[in-house]
Chains A and B, each alone.
Chain A
């Protein structure tokens, strides 16, 4: 890894993006049920999985 590499900055940006997405007040938005499963449950795991997928894409994109 080089200094100030774009990969590192992108990952840090993802982490910063995660903070508002996974805290209040955004967290109080989803309500009700989706296919019998609470929407909050879906939202939390969905956003979390999304962040992980993006991080994987950013980190592994250009070989190792």
Chain B
């Protein structure tokens, strides 16, 4: 038996712990040691899981099977689009945005109208959701008290009102400590994260108890469910509801960022952008864990209370109670309480900020009352408004709960709320990624979407509760069948949520895009669009400062800050700002555009961007920049960026060019030293024959008595050396001509086969003298190439004489083969000489390199034949190379391309 006092004491104790956690969080934040880590941030996102998750998921599972999971899969997928969320966070930080209404209003030209509209939609959409939380707490209390005496409280005070009052107190204490709404509520976030842990532990505890305590594990529950045809249906996915499935994923994916409380937690309360990296997987993991036991609990409940008419929404409590596990039921109650309180606290803070800044402030700023008391410090008033808003919102929720009670309007409100906030999606996404989106477009899109939501979802839910006539649902408005609220224009076959989502988003996006394309933004809108869409590029305030021109006085602006922020905080912020600009204190600062911008963004943090703009305009005479001028300034900023990028590219090109020049210079130096080498080698080569000619001539000159045979021999040598000298000089001249490109070429059709045969014939004597066998393999006619006949003959003779030089006399063999493929003629001169090493294969084509050992052997050639041959062959577009291995002979191969066939 659970006594009322025990429940009351436990709830009080739990709320006290919550207070303690929040106080600790705030104390640490004040001390500059934030306890908001990545994990705390990720857990606080689980404020998404309200009592609607805690109790309602089981209820949904008893009717819809696994389809309840879509509400958690959508957020998982949405959160992975980190870029989108990061952009929202960055924009909000830079422009001190405090709520989703402020975000949309600020993007579309700081429009008070838009801010108010978004606030109204959010309040209408979300207040019933708050009522649902109160109802869940009330329902769970009812379950606990069913067995005990009920007369704990006097009749005029019911437990739900008490809970609502405590929540209001909590929210006021931790949600409105600072005026500046961009100041984070770290204590509250810590409390919410703590509550997330509590509800997860409680739910899993109940799940484990039911699955393994009351039944024989997961497979036992599923097995027993399969036996009943009614329950077996829940285990199968109904593929005819495929459209609903996808729609729910979309809907919940949008809700995770556009519900006011989610925007508050994800964007406004974000301490560090890198925390998002943890949240992207930890929060989905949380969702997964809290859902594992939902279906088993639903099936277990249905099996256990077969036909006893228990409300499936309270299975989480009734199942443990049925087994007498009272302490577990109390834990479950606390879990449900924490789910409800977490949601209510954050949602109320978010809504109260919106109501204060975007509904109340615009009226206050227009009223004469505010103007007459110019010097008054308004910060206290602002906090007061927010506190009243909190109380009113909770009261509204409570009244709605009392009025709706068990009515349908409350039960179905979870998804109805989701569909309401989904209307923000086009204006938000369009605002972040589409510069052309205008205020008129956003207003008309929101109005159209909201109107359709009202007509197809909210009003029918009222009709189902019997508050208004249901004629417009059943027969259509004015009896027109096409206007049936849940089969608009005859669209039927969808469930009501998908139906509403489809039509409202269709109208919303359609109006937003169509009106945006057909309206012109004003100057403020255009500049805001630029700033929002290009937030990652506008790192500095370069364009911001130039977008404001006018006259202002520092005193007036400071006065404004003091009025709205309170003198203390205003001086604090001014000191920080002055330090940032390198000034000693703010008195010495000029009232320039940058200062105005600072003042406006400070004010925006307190009263919202739309009101801040109005206030700054009231003390500063702003010159009205036309749209064209604003666009010019923005274009200029874009151009400057483009120029700097261009400059960067040019600099890179310059670096590349410098590197190329350096390389060229190096090559030139190399060539220079090669030339020096060449000259010294040439002189050396010329001196060798000259020396022997001179020595022999001197001997002949000095010894007239010399034998005739000796004299003859010497003269023979002199003649040979002189010939060699002539040849050398000729070849050097030839080489020089070739290299300088001054050689004369007479190009004609040359029959290569014929040419090779002639070359072989002219050298035949040489081969016979040395006893070298010469074999050839040459086609009877052709192939024909375009070349200089004499030059090509020169190459051939050079190759043949080289071959005969290096093969051993008597047993030497030289083989000549002429062949051709489609592209070129290939001539191979191979021998069975000593062969070449791989290194020699390369250097042999350098000037004055000789085959064989030049140190010991008498040089057998000039060392210029091969380089010249190569130059000749290359001139005709061919190649000359050698393939050889030491000891296996060498094959000199050259190719000459065949003339292109005439077309």
Q: Do A and B bind each other?
A: yes
Seen from chain A, the residues whose Cβ lies within 8 Å of a Cβ on chain B are 1, 3, 7-9, 11-12, 14-15, 18-19, 22-25, 27-28, 33, 35-38, 40-41, 44-45, 48-49, 51-53, 55-56, 59-60, 64
Q: Which secondary structure dominates where chain B touches chain A? A: helix
A48:B235 contact, CB within 8 angstroms: no
Q: Mark B270-311, 1 if CB is under 8 A from A, else 0.
A: 000110111011101100100010010000000000000000
List chain B residues, Cβ under 8 A from A45: 288, 292
Assess the B288–A40 pair: CB atoms within 8 A. Answer: no
* A36 CA / B216 CA spacing, docked (Å): 12
B80 touches A15 (CB 8 A): yes
Shortest CB–CB separation between residue B635 and chain A, in angstroms? 22
CA of A59 to CA of B79 in the docked complex: distance in angstroms? Answer: 12
Cα–Cα, bound, A7→B249 (Å) = 24
Contact B277 A59 (CB under 8 A): yes
Q: 14 more A-B contacts (CB under 8 A) besides A11-B280, A40-B236, A51-B76?
A: A8-B82, A19-B249, A25-B239, A27-B237, A28-B239, A37-B218, A38-B222, A40-B66, A41-B66, A51-B284, A52-B288, A56-B282, A56-B285, A59-B278
Residues on A with beta carbons closer than 8 Å to the beta carbon of B218: 36-37
Of B76, B249, B280, chain A has the most CB atoms within 10 Å of the CB of B280
Chain A min CB distance to B203 (Å): 16
B69 in contact (CB, < 8 A): yes
Query: Measured between C-beta atoms, what is the minimum distance from A55 to chain B in Å?
Result: 4
Query: Which 10 pairs, one residue from A and one from B, show the smallest C-beta to C-beta distance?
Result: A36-B219, A15-B80, A24-B242, A56-B281, A55-B281, A59-B277, A28-B239, A38-B235, A18-B77, A15-B77
Cα A64 to Cα B288 with chains together (Å): 24
What are 13 contact pairs spanning A and B, CB under 8 A?
A7-B82, A11-B80, A11-B81, A14-B80, A15-B78, A15-B79, A18-B73, A18-B77, A25-B239, A38-B222, A51-B76, A53-B281, A64-B274
CB-CB under 8 A from A24, the residues of chain B are 239, 242, 245-246
| CB closest residue in chain A, given B243 | A24
List residues 211-228 of chain B with CB under 8 A from any CB of chain A: 218-220, 222-223, 226
Contact B66 A44 (CB under 8 A): yes
Which chain A residue has the least Cβ–Cβ distance from B279?
Answer: A59
Contact B82 A52 (CB under 8 A): no
Say yes or no for B83: interface residue by CB 8 A criterion: yes
- Contact call A33/B222, Cβ cutoff below 8 A: yes
The smallest beta-carbon distance between A10 and chain B, in angstroms, is 9
CB-defined contacts of B222 to chain A, threshold 8 Å:
33, 36-38, 41
Tell me whether B82 and A11 are in contact (CB under 8 A): yes
> Contact between B536 and A40 (Cβ–Cβ < 8 Å)?
no
Number of A-B contacts (CB under 8 A): 110
- Cβ of B86 within 8 Å of any chain A Cβ, yes or no, is yes
CA distance A35 to B548 in the complex (A): 69
* Contact indicator A15/B73 (Cβ below 8 Å): no
B86 close to A8 (CB less than 8 A)? yes
Contacts of A60 in B (CB 8 A): 277-278, 281
A18 touches B80 (CB 8 A): yes
Which B residues are CB-close (under 8 A) to A22? 73, 77, 249
* A24 (CB) vs chain B CBs: closest residue: B242
Cα separation A27 to B67 with both chains bound (whole Å): 12
Asked whether A27 lies within 8 Å of B245 as measured between CB atoms, the reply is yes
| Complex Cα–Cα for A8 and B80 (A) | 8
Query: Which residues of the other chain, B, contact A14 by a CB distance below 8 angstroms?
Result: 80
Q: How far is it, in angstroms, between the C-alpha of A9 and the C-alpha of B360 when the chains are bound?
A: 42
**Distance between Cα atoms of A9 and B273 in the complex (Å):** 16
Select B220's contact among A3, A9, A27, A36, beta carbons within 8 Å: A36
Task: Indicate if the CB atoms of B223 and A36 lie closer than 8 Å.
Answer: yes
Contacting residue for B82 out of A12, A44, A51, CB 8 A? A12
Assess the B281–A37 pair: CB atoms within 8 A: no
Task: Determine the chain A residues whose CB is within 8 A of the CB of B292 once the complex forms.
Answer: 45
Chain B residues with CB below 8 A from A38, complex form = 222, 235-236
- Asked whether B80 lies within 8 Å of A7 as measured between CB atoms, the reply is no
Report the bound CA distance from A13 to B77 in whole Å: 10
CB contacts (< 8 Å) of B223 on chain A: these are 36
CA distance A20 to B107 in the complex (A): 33
Shortest A57–chain B CB gap in Å is: 9
Known contacts A3-B536, A24-B239, A49-B288: does B73 contact A55 (CB below 8 Å)? Answer: no
Residue numbers in B under 8 Å from A35 (CB-CB)? 219
Highest count of chain B CB atoms <10 Å: which of A33, A44, A52: A52
A14 nearest CB across to chain B (Å): 5
CA gap between A23 and B69 in the complex, in Å: 11
Query: In the bound complex, how far is the Cα of B220 from the Cα of A16, in angstroms?
Result: 36
What is the distance, in angstroms, from B512's C-beta to the closest C-beta of chain A? 23
Report the Cα distance A51→B218, complex, angstroms: 23
In the assembled complex, the CB of B222 is this many whole angstroms from the nearest CB of chain A, namely 5
Q: A12-B80, A15-B81 are in contact. Are A41 and B235 (CB under 8 A)?
A: yes
Residues on B with beta carbons closer than 8 Å to the beta carbon of A27? 237, 239, 242, 245
> How many angstroms between the C-alpha atoms of A24 and B238 in the bound complex?
10
Q: What's the minimum C-beta distance from A39 to chain B, rounded to whole angstroms?
A: 10
A12's contact among B69, B83, B242, B284, by CB below 8 Å, is which? B83
Residues on the A chain within 8 Å of B81, using CB: 11-12, 15
**In the complex, are the beta carbons of A23 and B249 less than 8 A apart?**
yes
| CB-nearest residue of chain B to A27 | B237
Q: Are B295 and A59 in contact (CB under 8 A)?
A: no
Query: Do A52 and B273 have beta carbons less than 8 Å apart?
Result: no
Contacts of A33 in B (CB 8 A): 222, 226
The 8 A CB mask of B240-264 against A (1 = contact, 0 = none) is 0010011001000000000000000
CB proximity of B534 to chain A, nearest CB, Å: 11
Most buried by B among A22, A25, A60: A22
**Bound complex: CA of A10 vs CA of B440, how far in Å?**
36
B280 and A55: CB pair below 8 A? yes
